A and B are shown apart, each in its own frame.
Chain A
C-alpha cells in the first residue's frame, strides 16, 4: 500500500512542447499536425503584425493565411540558418509590403474591437486623467486616430514601429527580419516616431 501511495504523489512529468526545429523537421516530412502546431504558435503574432500594417481585418486574415501556406510550401528551402520565427516573419513582412505596394490608396479602415482591458491600461488612465486637449476623447476615437496616424507613415517606417513599439521585438530581431542592419532599424524608428509625435500631438502635449 505504501508503494501505491508513493506512486500517487509522484507528479506526472510535464508535457514539454516540442521546439520549433523538431516541428519543422516533422512538417518537412509531411506531418501536417506538426505544422498545425507551428501555425497555432505564431498565428496571433503574424496576424497582429499584418493587421497593424493594413489596419484591415479581412486583409490581415487573407495575408496571414497566405503567409502560413507559402511558408509550408517553402519549408524545403528553410535551412535553419535563422530561427523559424524569423524566417516566418520575413515571409509575412515581404508579402505584406508587396501587397501594400499593389494596393491602391485606401482610406477605409476595418478595425478590430478593443479588448475590454484597454480601459485599465495605465497609458489610457494617465491620458484621461491629464489635462490634454483630447482629455474627453473616447478610447475608440483614440484607436482610430492611432491607426490613421500609423497609416500615414511609409510602409517600412510603419513596419518598424509595428514590430518594435507594438509587437515589442528588439532591434536586432527586426534587422534580421527586414534583412538590414540594426542601425538602419534604429534610424527608421527614430524618424517614424518623430512623424507620429507630430500627427498625435493632441494626445501628447
Chain B
C-alpha cells in the first residue's frame, strides 16, 4: 500500500524559499581549508597507536553495549568466586598439619603446607630411585684448603689478605 499522496509542491513554495535561506549559513572563513588535514591527521594518529587499539576498542565496545560490559563483569566475578572456592578447599590440609599453626606467620604456614602436601604425595605415589631428578653433587677433586698445601712455589692460589693501616 502506498503512503499518503503528497500535495502539489506549490503548496509549500513559500516555505521552501524560506528554508533555502538556511543554505547561506556558513562556518568561519577558511574553515574548510584545514578540515581535511585534521581528518587525515586523526587517521594517521589512530594508525600509529596499535597498542591501545585492542583495549581501547574493547572499552568503547563495552560503553556502546552495556550488556557486553555486564557479561564481562559477571565472568570476572565468577572467576574470583571460583578462585576463592579452590583456596578454601586447601585450608583443611593446613589444619591437618597442626591446628596451632593457624596463628603462625603466612611464610611458616606456606612452608608447613608445602611439607604436608609433599608427605601426602609420598604416601600415595611410589618413587623409583632411578627416576629421581635430583642428586647430591660430589666434587672429589676439591679438598679443604690448608696453609701447608698453599706454600710458595706450589702453584696454589693464596687467599687474599690485607694488613690494616692502623
Binding site for B on A (CB under 8 A): 32, 35-36, 39-40, 43-44, 47-48, 51-52, 57, 60-61, 64-65, 68-69, 72-73, 111-115, 117-118, 121-124, 126-127, 139, 142-143, 146-147, 150, 161, 165-167, 183-184, 186-187, 189-190, 193, 196-197, 200, 203-204
Chain B interface size range: 20 to 34
Residues of B within 8 A of A64 (CB): 35
Residues of B within 8 A of A113 (CB): 25-26, 28
> Would you give the shortest CB distance from B140 to chain A, in whole angstroms?
69
Contact at A43–B40, with CB atoms within 8 Å?
Answer: no
Residues of A within 8 A of B36 (CB): 36, 39-40, 43, 68
Contact at B44–A32, with CB atoms within 8 Å?
Answer: yes
> Would you give the shortest CB distance from B29 to chain A, in whole angstroms?
9
A167 to B18, CA, bound (A): 13
Which B19-44 residues sit within 8 Å CB-CB of chain A? 19-28, 32, 35-40, 42-44
Q: Determine which of B4, B12, B26, B42 lies in contact with A187 in the assembled complex, contact meaning CB atoms within 8 Å.
A: B4
Contact at B18–A203, with CB atoms within 8 Å?
Answer: yes
Contact at B39–A39, with CB atoms within 8 Å?
Answer: yes
> Would you give the shortest CB distance from A196 to chain B, in whole angstroms?
6
Residues of A within 8 A of B43 (CB): 32, 35, 69, 72
B83: CB under 8 A from chain A?
A: no
Contact at B3–A183, with CB atoms within 8 Å?
Answer: yes
A114 to B24, CA, bound (A): 5
**Closest B residue to A64 using CB positions:** B35
Residues of A within 8 A of B46 (CB): 69, 73
12 more contacts with CB within 8 A, not counting A39-B40, A121-B24, are A47-B32, A113-B26, A117-B24, A123-B21, A146-B19, A166-B22, A167-B23, A183-B2, A183-B3, A186-B3, A187-B3, A190-B6
> Would you give the shortest CB distance from B5 to chain A, in whole angstroms?
8
Residues of A within 8 A of B147 (CB): none
Residues of A within 8 A of B25 (CB): 51-52, 111-115, 143
Contact at B14–A69, with CB atoms within 8 Å?
Answer: no
**Closest A residue to B42 using CB positions:** A69
Contact at B17–A44, with CB atoms within 8 Å?
Answer: no
Q: Determine which of B6, B26, B42 lies in contact with A65 in the assembled complex, contact meaning CB atoms within 8 Å.
A: B42
9 contacts between A and B (CB under 8 A): A32-B40, A48-B23, A61-B27, A113-B26, A114-B25, A184-B3, A187-B4, A190-B7, A197-B12
For the complex of A and B, list the 9 residue pairs with the smallest distance between their C-beta atoms, beginning with the closest. Answer: A118-B24, A123-B17, A39-B36, A187-B3, A183-B3, A115-B24, A165-B19, A112-B25, A190-B6
Contact at A190–B24, with CB atoms within 8 Å?
Answer: no
Which B85-105 residues sit within 8 Å CB-CB of chain A? none
Q: Determine which of B7, B20, B24, B38 lies in contact with A165 in the assembled complex, contact meaning CB atoms within 8 Å.
A: B20
Residues of A within 8 A of B127 (CB): none
